[in-house]
């Protein structure tokens, strides 16, 4: 039981490049989310999904796309990287989401630098 696995752990991109941050969970959780964490700020929700085939925008969705074709995987795509997207990205999953009293399990994070 690996929990939530994020890859890569570190990435450097040039402005304008695109890439996909991978997230996979093996706990059969319905809910999955992507957050970014910047110095001096709380985690901010980018996109989330309440089940396969369903996604919705969070607080800071611009510049990011997601898809949820399977329960296990929830990749985050950066369409055209910008320096403002330099951050640490966390993927999280939960059995029934934050409101259901079930805690979120977080991945170990992807540290992205855009130069």
Partner 1 sequence: KNQVEQSPQSLIILEGKNCTLQCNYTVSPFSNLRWYKQDTGRGPVSLTIMTFSENTKSNGRYTATLDADTKQSSLHITASQLSDSASYICVVSGGNRDDKIIFGKGTRLHILP
Which residues lie near partner 1 (CB under 8 A)? 4, 31, 33, 35, 40-45, 48, 50, 56-59, 90, 92, 97-99, 101, 103-109
The answer to whether the beta carbons of residues 52 and 69 sit under 8 Å apart is yes
The residues that bridge with 6 in the sheet, in sequence order, are 23
The residues that bridge with 36 in the sheet, in sequence order, are 44, 89
Nearer to partner 1, 3 or 17 (CB): 3
Q: What is the smallest separation between the CB atom of 16 and partner 1, expressed in angstroms?
A: 28
Is-cis flag, bond preceding 8, omega within 30?
A: yes
Q: What is the smallest separation between the CB atom of 92 and partner 1, expressed in angstroms?
A: 8
Phi and psi at 77, nearest 5°, equal -110, 130
Nearer to partner 1, 17 or 58 (CB): 58
d(CA 75, CA 69): 10
The residues that bridge with 34 in the sheet, in sequence order, are 47, 91
Q: What is the smallest separation between the CB atom of 96 and partner 1, expressed in angstroms?
A: 10
Nearer to partner 1, 35 or 78 (CB): 35
Nearer to partner 1, 17 or 63 (CB): 63
Q: What is the smallest separation between the CB atom of 56 and partner 1, expressed in angstroms?
A: 7
SS3 call for 83: helix
């Amino acid at each position: 039981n690996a929990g939530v696995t994020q890859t890569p752990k570190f990435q450097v991109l040039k402005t304008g490049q695109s890439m996909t941050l991978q997230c996979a969970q093996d706990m059969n959780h319905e809910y999955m989310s992507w957050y970014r964490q910047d110095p001096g700020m709380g985690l901010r929700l980018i996109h989330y999904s309440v089940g396969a085939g369903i996604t919705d925008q969070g607080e800071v969705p611009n510049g990011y796309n997601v898809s949820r074709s399977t329960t296990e995987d929830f990749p985050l795509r950066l369409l055209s990287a910008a320096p403002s997207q330099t951050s640490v990205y966390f993927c999280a999953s939960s059995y029934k989401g934050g409101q259901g009293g079930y805690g979120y399990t977080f991945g170990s994070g992807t540290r992205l630098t855009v130069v």
